[in-house]
Amino acid sequence: MGCVVFVLLCNLLHASAFDREWTCKQLGKWKHCSRQSTSSPVPCPGKMQCTPFAEEAPAVSPPSLPVTSPSLPPPNWPSPQSTFPPPMASLESLQAEALATWHLDGDWSDATGGFSLVAAAGANISGFQAAAHAMPSGKAYGPTGSTLLQGASSTNLSHVNTTAGFTMAGWCAGVNGGSGGRLFGFGTTAWGEASLVLYNSWGFLWITGGKAADRATIKFDRPFFDGCWHHVALVLPPRWREGVPFSVFLDGVLATGIADRLPADFVGAGPPAFTNSQLFGSAFGIGGNGDGKQRIDEVSLWARALSSAEVALLATPTGPEPACKVSASPPPPPSASRCVHPELNSSHAPQPPSVSLHVRFLTSRYVTVVTDPTEYLHAQIHARCGDALASIDAAYLTSDPYNWRINYEYKYAAMEVVDLLRPPILEAVSRQDHLHLSREDGGSVGIERVSVWPNAAREMRVSRPAGAPGRAHEYVATAEVQFFSFLELTRPLSSDDGSAIVLLDSWGHNTTVVFNDRTTVSWALKVDQAGYLPTAAKFAYFGSWLGPGGPLNVTQFEGSQFSVWRIEDGNAIPGGTGNIAFDSAEGGLGGGAAVRAFEGVASRRVRDSEFEGVPLYGEDVLELDFSDLTEPGSYFVQIDGVGRSWSFVIGQEALGLSFYNSARGLYHQRCGTNLTAPYTAWARDDVHATYRGGQPPQDEDYKDHTADGWGFSDESGAFVQLSWFEVVRLRATNEALPQVSGGWHDAADFDRRDFHFLVVANLVNAFLLFPDHFSEGQLQIPNSGDGVPDILIEAMWGVDVWRRAQEADGRVATWIEADSHPHEKDTAQDQQPYFLGLATRQSTLHYAAHAALLARGYQRAGADTSPGSTVATLLESAQRAFAFGARRDADARVGFNLTLDDGRNISWREPAQPAPEYLLHAALQLWLATNNTYYREFLESSELEAAMQRIVNNANWQPGPLLNILVSVAAADPLTLPAGWHAAANAKILEQADLYVERQLADAYRKVWYDTDHGYFKLGAWGNNGFLHIRWLVAAYGFHR
């Protein structure tokens, strides 16, 4: 076959002078030589002979080119219909012409012999799969199971002659499970260097080209990575550097409707800037450059622009796996025209929405009406946008039920409809005449004032068609909003006449309610629905916020009598004048009778606190103290003219359900095990696997510690900020660690971290402080039947994962992490690999302390302590860990060197010595667990004496052991500890407990947290931070009750 001779007009005044294109022939393959202005042969590389093109194909006269008005050729000039050059003979001959071809049948070799690739440093190349596409007997390159893949590159292509254009093409298959992975292309990851790369991101094909600030990215707006094999080709025309458009072919068809010119900063840069070209990217595959999940096969390069017909020939599938076709033209972009809004094109007003009304009484004079349009908006989304959404479902869900494009379209439809319909709803409910109240017997009920507050209830979910694969609902990134109308009536409602109240809105919706201050629940009365211990202080609160109307006026009830009623079983009402009979229809509170058990007087609480000028609660609050009521039973609080509270219990079991639910939550967060009946109604599998990694194991390791000679730094010693996800990716291996399993999934992620030792300490210390409160079988979790309380069985789940990760010399890593947040929420489907971090002396001591603490818990529970027992195993592991963590020799200090994607060389080193607080904690727990004076001698050292003083003087020490250390010291025999430690620990616990009691008393609802002027106050919005300080109160109670 012959190569194309691209004839360019060199000099408009000498139109007959043409350069001649020469080729090099070896073994039937043709390569381009340098272009010469002579008819003589020129030297060729190696044994190839350079001869004129005419030796391969009959000479053809060049086309007649206009002299006076030259124009740029089209992307695929010359056209396939031209007789210049001859048509391609076969797929085989086209492949034979390729400048380079990588079959990827098990290695990175180039079939032509000249451009074999070199794997990136640290890359695994075990991802050559048996299942290929383009060659039936070959393989393909891509992820295998949990193997982390990177890439390979060659620097030998830096001088490719692109005068005749250039083509790169290959097969690819994948899914949209990640934010990106390179396919093939030129350029490095350095921002300042030119690049031309095709890559996969979120299921779509992208091209990036250019350099520095002029880098451009082009997205092909149609799903491409759908699990099938696709062919992609990028064709640069002969004069691409002069701005001539390039072409992209998807499955052999020219893609239309795209930006097809590269940035001037790239195309006008002179010779091709292909130095250090990375054809597969140094970060490719699972956890590679982003987190793409793609495979590639049969990648080839040509030093000319292939024609459309030639690309179509290459795109003919021949392998065993299916190839899919995608539309060459992008789908229509989402727009308002895709949803139907008749009122926008006609004069009629929108139809009244169909909403639900809910009435909540605050008092006999203040009523809240909740207008909920959620179902109406959902129906409108489907009515107006249903056809468009159905077509999206049909187009994209066949191969990928979790395609992000589905969610994008549902979000667009939901926001379009919500933005159109929600404002008029708000406008209507805000009118003073929107709501009308009347008595069912014909009397009127006046409304003096209305204030409205739109309240976000939860993230909106839009249902998908029944039977559609994948999710039943799509979360659409907007809130389901309910409109709270706070009504102040002209006069209070009476509980005596029993007349029903009819509520009617301006759209014609209505509901009927009855107010009775003995049986109607007031949403302004707040009690602890979990219950109260008999001997504990007991408070209820009365107050409410009325949105723009400000706080509910509670002045008239200050000093009023309140009653606490005991709910009796059956219908018999004990004698007395204060009895209430009610049935199960009233508020769903259970039928029966109640008798007045306590009376008190409502008193004013402290004024609402403000933070940065904003009230915390927006309420004036009254306090209802019934601490003197100690008889166990079921109760509710009631105030005349207000109503009654929800029911609650007084009794020793009051907090049992809260403990049960919290501890059972840990069971449902377990990793590395399947949850099954009879232990849960929410069965699920867990397929998470652990591999050896190497990321530093604690948050602190990623901060700037260069002044202290440790942490991340570059070759100049300057700090380098890295995310742990990036470090996980760069340090990951494919060495499976099947024995490392367990722990609890962290929050919404599936990683396991050293922070979880706080959970272990909370569980074990709760048992050590109150051992009689915990038993086996209490939590309905799997146990051994040996009498060990369930609370310790659960704590073991947070320790044993690290014992399983312990190395021969005793060291322990305490972080198992992936290279990104989870792609898949279902633990039974999440195939993302997780990697065990680097074991440092500090992480090892952290483990040693908690393994020994847990052993103490088992000892206190009377567990077996003989050799081979759980206690003996924990203590042996903790002692080996301590031996490593206490080492001071230079050989024990760990670190590593790393080359980043941008080519920078960096290093990480652990501190010269671990923080003494970690050594103190481990030595203390081992001393208390073993009574071995070896550990006691560590506590006597001046270093650990100083560490203990820092702990006592600093209540906010971040690594976590502070309170655990103090609790263990305070619980120990004073004679077994260094002088003064026991007294100092007890004093510190009482001091902190008193501090938080003061803060509790200063808060309208007795929240245990920092003062509003404290720098940490805002952290109360994060997770369960508000509960952390309660541990000081629990510890003080445990030691001084």
Read off the pTM. 0.71
Q: How confident is the model at residue 195 (pLDDT cuts 50, 70, 90)?
A: low
pLDDT at residue 267 is higher than 70: no
Q: How confident is the model at residue 127 (pLDDT cuts 50, 70, 90)?
A: low
Q: Are 884 and 809 in contact (CB under 8 A)?
A: yes
Please, what is the Cα angle at 135 between 133 and 136, to 5 degrees? 85
| Segment among 482-496, 639-653, 887-901, 1002-1016 with least mean pLDDT | 1002-1016
Q: How confident is the model at residue 1011 (pLDDT cuts 50, 70, 90)?
A: confident
The predicted model gives 995-1007 an average pLDDT of 91
Q: How confident is the model at residue 239 (pLDDT cuts 50, 70, 90)?
A: confident
Q: How confident is the model at residue 183 (pLDDT cuts 50, 70, 90)?
A: confident
The model's pLDDT over 456-485, given as tens digits with 9 standing for 90+, comes to 999 999 998 777 766 788 899 999 999 999
pLDDT at residue 139 is higher than 60: yes
The model's pLDDT over 649-682, given as tens digits with 9 standing for 90+, comes to 999 888 888 899 999 999 999 999 999 999 999 9
pLDDT at residue 493 is higher than 70: yes
pLDDT at residue 143 is higher than 80: no
817 vs 69: which has the higher pLDDT: 817
The model's pLDDT over 497-524, given as tens digits with 9 standing for 90+, comes to 677 999 999 999 999 999 999 899 999 9
The model's pLDDT over 903-950, given as tens digits with 9 standing for 90+, comes to 899 999 999 999 999 999 999 999 999 999 999 999 999 999 999 999
Residues sharing a CB contact under 8 Å with residue 991, sequence separation 6 or more, in sequence order: none
CA neighbor of 915 nearest in space, from 864, 958, 966: 958
**What count of Cα atoms within 13 Å lies in the side-chain half-sphere of residue 108?**
19
Q: How confident is the model at residue 317 (pLDDT cuts 50, 70, 90)?
A: confident
Q: How confident is the model at residue 720 (pLDDT cuts 50, 70, 90)?
A: very high
pLDDT, residue 256, reads: 62
Q: Are 742 and 834 in contact (CB under 8 A)?
A: no
Which residue shows structure tokens 């670190």?
A: 895
What CA–CA distance (Å, rounded) separates 924 from 928? 6
Sign of the CA dihedral running 75, 77, 81, 86: negative
120 vs 974: which has the higher pLDDT: 974
What CA–CA distance (Å, rounded) separates 283 from 903? 12
CA neighbor of 652 nearest in space, from 770, 828, 541, 804: 770
pLDDT at residue 21 is higher than 70: no
pLDDT, residue 397, reads: 53
DSSP 707-721: GGT-EEEETTS-B--
SS3 content of the chain, % helix, strand, coil (to 5): 25, 20, 50
pLDDT, residue 107, reads: 78
User: Which ranges of 861-958 would DSSP assign to H, the alpha helix?
Assistant: 870-885, 916-930, 933-939, 942-953
100 beta partners: 301
As a whole number, the mean pLDDT across the chain is 78
Sign of the CA dihedral running 1008, 1012, 1013, 1019: positive
pLDDT, residue 963, reads: 81
The model's pLDDT over 431-464, given as tens digits with 9 standing for 90+, comes to 999 999 999 888 889 999 999 999 999 999 999 8
